[in-house]
């Protein structure tokens, strides 16, 4: 899968996504992440990409032209190699809230363009022209779209086959089946007087599975009653 991040701070996203599992996945070719500097596309001779807002108000707005040209250049490259038009996600607190379902849906795309705003946002006219999806990572306001784009790339990329080495982990973990994950333990067996639950040492896989299931259900009910309700509704509708 190819991620194309349109940003004024390419080094920020490349550094953030160049480490750990996502960095390894890029090196191994399971995903490709390119950061396109919107400033490279401005026609302003001083490299300016922002201006005051019509109607007044604090702050500067990213102008339509450099955003449009950057996005068009990327779409043309994608079309030349795949014949397709990529979805363009504008990360904004005004978007639909990002969730695991959305990550799954976007992981099926071959190419994905993520547009990061900065300052007070982006001229509405270019958004109307190029954006297909408006996505927020939560009800709070950040200084720019780079962190939200990085969050989305991480969550989507780890669902791309080959990115995670243990292929089970994307299914059994939190949200894999709509429930929170069960507690996990590693060595030593006793740490500061706390023992690993006996059943996990029993070697009885059926019992371990049952214990984990119960823990997941209890934990979800206690910590995320909203998810628990949704899970009950779903399993009543489609019993497993
Ligand atoms: N840009 C600023 N805040 C944001 C948020 N919460 N989600 C997505 N993009 C943003």
CATH of the domain at 230: 1.10.1270.20
CATH of the domain at 74: 3.40.1280.10
81: tokens are: 């190699």
- Per-residue confidence (pLDDT) for residue 240, from 0 to 100: 66
Q: How do 2-7 and 32-37 pair as beta strands?
A: parallel
- Per-residue confidence (pLDDT) for residue 223, from 0 to 100: 98
31 and 149 co-located in one domain: yes
Cβ of 142 less than 6 Å from ligand 1: yes
What is the mean predicted confidence (pLDDT) over 24-51? Answer: 98
143 and 25 co-located in one domain: yes
What is the mean predicted confidence (pLDDT) over 3-9? Answer: 98
Identify whether the C-beta of residue 6 lies closer than 8 Å to the C-beta of residue 115.
yes
How many structural domains compose the chain?
A: 2
115 and 223 co-located in one domain: no
- Ligand 1 atom nearest the C-alpha of 92 is 9
- Per-residue confidence (pLDDT) for residue 167, from 0 to 100: 56
What is the mean predicted confidence (pLDDT) over 210-222? Answer: 98
Return the H-helix or E-strand segment holding 106.
helix 100-107
Bigger pLDDT: 29 or 238?
A: 29
Residue 50 Cα to ligand 1 middle (Å): 19
Nearest CA to ligand 1 atom 7: 136
Does residue 216 form part of some domain? yes
Does residue 149 form part of some domain? yes
List pLDDT tens digits, range 117-126: 987 899 999 9
Is it the case that residue 207 has pLDDT exceeding 90? yes
18 and 112 co-located in one domain: yes
Residue 68 Cα to ligand 1 middle (Å): 20
Does residue 163 form part of some domain? no
Does residue 162 form part of some domain? no
Final residue in a domain of this structure, among 157, 183, 216: 157
Q: Which long-range contacts (CB under 8 A, 24 or more apart) does 215-223 make?
A: 215/182, 215/183, 216/179, 216/180, 216/181, 216/182, 217/179, 219/179, 219/180, 219/181, 219/182, 219/183, 220/179, 220/180, 223/180
Bigger pLDDT: 238 or 204?
A: 204
List pLDDT tens digits, range 129-150: 999 999 999 999 999 999 999 9
Residue 7 Cα to ligand 1 middle (Å): 14
- Per-residue confidence (pLDDT) for residue 103, from 0 to 100: 98
227 and 130 co-located in one domain: no
Does residue 165 form part of some domain? no
55 and 135 co-located in one domain: yes
- Per-residue confidence (pLDDT) for residue 170, from 0 to 100: 61
228 and 150 co-located in one domain: no
Range of the domain at 209: 173-237
Does residue 181 form part of some domain? yes
What is the mean predicted confidence (pLDDT) over 79-100? Answer: 98
63 and 178 co-located in one domain: no
What is the mean predicted confidence (pLDDT) over 38-44? Answer: 98
The CA distance from 24 to 18, in Å, is 8
Does residue 92 form part of some domain? yes
List pLDDT tens digits, range 162-206: 999 975 476 567 777 899 999 999 999 999 999 999 999 999 999
Cβ of 121 less than 6 Å from ligand 1: no
33 and 149 co-located in one domain: yes
Cβ of 148 less than 6 Å from ligand 1: yes
27: tokens are: 């090196």
């Amino acid at each position: 899968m190819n991620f194309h991040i349109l940003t004024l701070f390419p080094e920020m996203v490349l550094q953030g996504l160049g480490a750990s599992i996502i960095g390894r996945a890029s090196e191994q070719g399971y995903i490709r992440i390119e950061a396109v500097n919107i400033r490279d596309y401005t026609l302003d001779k001083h490299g300016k990409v922002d201006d005051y807002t019509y109607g007044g108000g604090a702050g500067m707005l990213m102008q339509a032209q450099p955003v449009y040209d950057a996005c068009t250049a990327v779409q043309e490259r994608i079309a030349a190699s795949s014949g397709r038009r990529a979805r363009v996600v504008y990360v904004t607190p005004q978007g639909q809230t990002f969730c695991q379902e959305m990550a799954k849906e976007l992981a099926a795309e071959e190419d994905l363009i993520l547009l990061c705003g900065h300052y007070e946002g982006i001229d509405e006219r270019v958004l109307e022209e190029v954006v297909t999806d408006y996505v927020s990572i939560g009800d709070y306001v950040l200084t720019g779209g780079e962190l939200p784009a990085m969050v989305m790339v991480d969550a989507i990329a780890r669902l791309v086959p080959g990115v995670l080495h243990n292929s089970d982990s994307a299914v059994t973990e939190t949200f894999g089946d709509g429930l929170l994950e069960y507690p996990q333990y590693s060595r030593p067996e006793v740490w500061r007087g706390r023992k690993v639950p006996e059943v996990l040492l029993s070697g009885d896989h059926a019992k371990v599975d049952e214990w984990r299931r119960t823990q997941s259900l209890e934990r979800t009910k206690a910590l995320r009653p909203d998810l628990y309700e949704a899970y009950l509704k779903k399993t009543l509708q489609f019993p497993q």
